[in-house]
Structure 1
Amino acid sequence: MTFRRVFSKAYVSYRKVKDNAFNQRNLFYTNVLLSIGISTLGDLMEQSYEVHTKEIEKIDLHRTAQMGFSGSTAGIICHHWYNFLDKIIIGRSFSMVIKKLFLDQFICSPIIIMSFFATVAIFEEHPLENFTDELKTKFWILYKAEWMVWPPAQIINFYFLPTKYRVAYDNTISLGYDVYTSHVKHSKDYKRESKSTDDKD
């Protein structure tokens, strides 16, 4: 009985927290905080791997803070984007889901990638130059990865989930993608490729 009571109280507390987090009044803040948390965790995982492989000596918390801040812009954009999509395309038929999927990939995905590079560039020297250089050298790498990851994930998202859970679901998928994003952003290999391309020009 004691275990049942403890479990029952824990479950009731969980339901209260979930209901508060995902109600209309708090949903925006929940989505932004989730996105910040996942982007931060993704970078910490990537940096831990880089420490393990001796690519870097220790974890750079300044870099992690930048990546976490970039998650805030993704959270803001996705929160408003999903609300907008559900207002202009109403229903969950297969054709509606496919329409949402293509709008998401052709409109929202490029905006998210550009906002990522722009947000991180703010904290770097020569932000405008870094932003334009990284768009030229790394945008297509991330955009191609988007087409590998998100279409099947978003079919599930658009078909099965109510709007209020969409960003939370995104973040469960996004953890692996955020690790890759951090890798592309900070990898010396991509920097070398950029320089060699510039030298040829």
Structure 2
Amino acid sequence: MKIRRLLSKTYSIYQVTAHKAFSPKYLLYTNVLLSIGISTAGDIMEQCYEWHVRDIDSFDTHRTGQMAVSGCTAGIICHNWYNFLDKVIIGRTFDMVIKKLLLDQFICSPVVILSFFATVAVFEDNPLENFNDEVKEKFWTLYRAEWLVWPPAQIINFYFLPTKYRVVYDNTISLGYDIYTSHVKHQKTPKEADNTMIEKA
């Protein structure tokens, strides 16, 4: 009986918390915190792999912090983007879903990728130069990956889910993508590799 009461109480607390978290008053905070958490987890998992294969010698908390901030930026953008998209394109017919999908891929995806590079560059030396170099070297790699991952996922998102659950659904899909994003971001560009060789020489 005690276990049953405990489970019942836990479930009641969960219901109240979830109801508040996805209410209009708190939804932005919920989406941002989820995005920060997933971006952080993605980088931690990527660093664990890199350490396992000896690509890195130690865990870089500064790098994880950068990825967490980029998750915050992405959470804010996606929250506002989905609200906007559902106001201008109302309905869940196949045509409406495809319109949302195309706008998402051609407008929101590039903006999120550019904001990612911009957010991380702020914490690095020569931010403008680093931003320009990484966009040139890595933007298309991430954007091609977007076209592989998100169209099928977003069809489900736009067809079945209400607006308030769009970002949390994105985050269930994006852990794998965030691992890949961390991997691409921290691959050395040819310029960075040359600089490393010069420093070691």
Please indicate the TM-score interval, normalised by the length of the shorter structure.
over 0.9
Residue 156 of structure 1 deviates from its aligned partner by: 0.6
- The 5-angstrom pairing of residues 148-187 of structure 1 reads 148-187=148-187
Alpha-carbon RMSD: 1.3
Give the equivalent residue in structure 2 for 1:199: none
The 2-side partners of 1:104 and 1:82 are apart by 9
Give the equivalent residue in structure 1 for 2:115: 115
The 2-side partners of 1:49 and 1:187 are apart by 14
Call closer, same or farther: CA 1:143–1:193 in 2, change over 3 Å.
farther
The 2-side partners of 1:10 and 1:3 are apart by 10
The 2-side partners of 1:85 and 1:126 are apart by 35
- The 5-angstrom pairing of residues 15-26 of structure 1 reads 15-26=15-26
Give the equivalent residue in structure 2 for 1:67: 67
Over 3 Å off, 4+ runs: 192-196
TM-score, length-normalised on structure 2? Answer: 0.94
Residue 142 of structure 1 deviates from its aligned partner by: 0.1
SS in 2 for 1:64: helix
The one-character-per-residue Cα deviations of 1:32-85 (angstroms, maximum 9, x if unpaired) are: 111111101100000000000000011100000000000111000000000000
SS in 2 for 1:101: helix
- The 5-angstrom pairing of residues 94-133 of structure 1 reads 94-133=94-133
CA contact (8 A) 1:97 1:158 kept: yes
The 1-side partners of 2:193 and 2:41 are apart by 29
Residue 194 of structure 1 deviates from its aligned partner by: 7.5
The 2-side partners of 1:152 and 1:59 are apart by 34
Q: Is 2:190 the partner of 1:192?
A: yes
SS in 2 for 1:120: helix
AA matched with 1:173: I
Residue 8 of structure 1 deviates from its aligned partner by: 1.3
CA contact (8 A) 1:137 1:194 kept: no
TM-score, length-normalised on structure 1? Answer: 0.94
The 1-side partners of 2:179 and 2:34 are apart by 15
Residue 6 of structure 1 deviates from its aligned partner by: 1.8
Residue 31 of structure 1 deviates from its aligned partner by: 0.6
The 2-side partners of 1:23 and 1:152 are apart by 27
The answer for unaligned runs of 5 or more in structure 2 is: 195-201
AA matched with 2:38: I
AA matched with 1:57: D
AA matched with 2:149: V
Give the equivalent residue in structure 1 for 2:9: 9
Residue 195 of structure 1 deviates from its aligned partner by: 6.2
Give the equivalent residue in structure 1 for 2:199: none
The 1-side partners of 2:148 and 2:192 are apart by 23
Give the equivalent residue in structure 1 for 2:198: none
Give the equivalent residue in structure 2 for 1:145: 145
AA matched with 1:18: A
The 2-side partners of 1:179 and 1:54 are apart by 17
The 2-side partners of 1:64 and 1:195 are apart by 21
Call closer, same or farther: CA 1:193–1:132 in 2, change over 3 Å.
closer
* Same amino acid, percent of matched pairs: 70
Residue 193 of structure 1 deviates from its aligned partner by: 8.1
CA contact (8 A) 1:34 1:171 kept: yes
The 1-side partners of 2:152 and 2:35 are apart by 20
SS in 2 for 1:170: helix
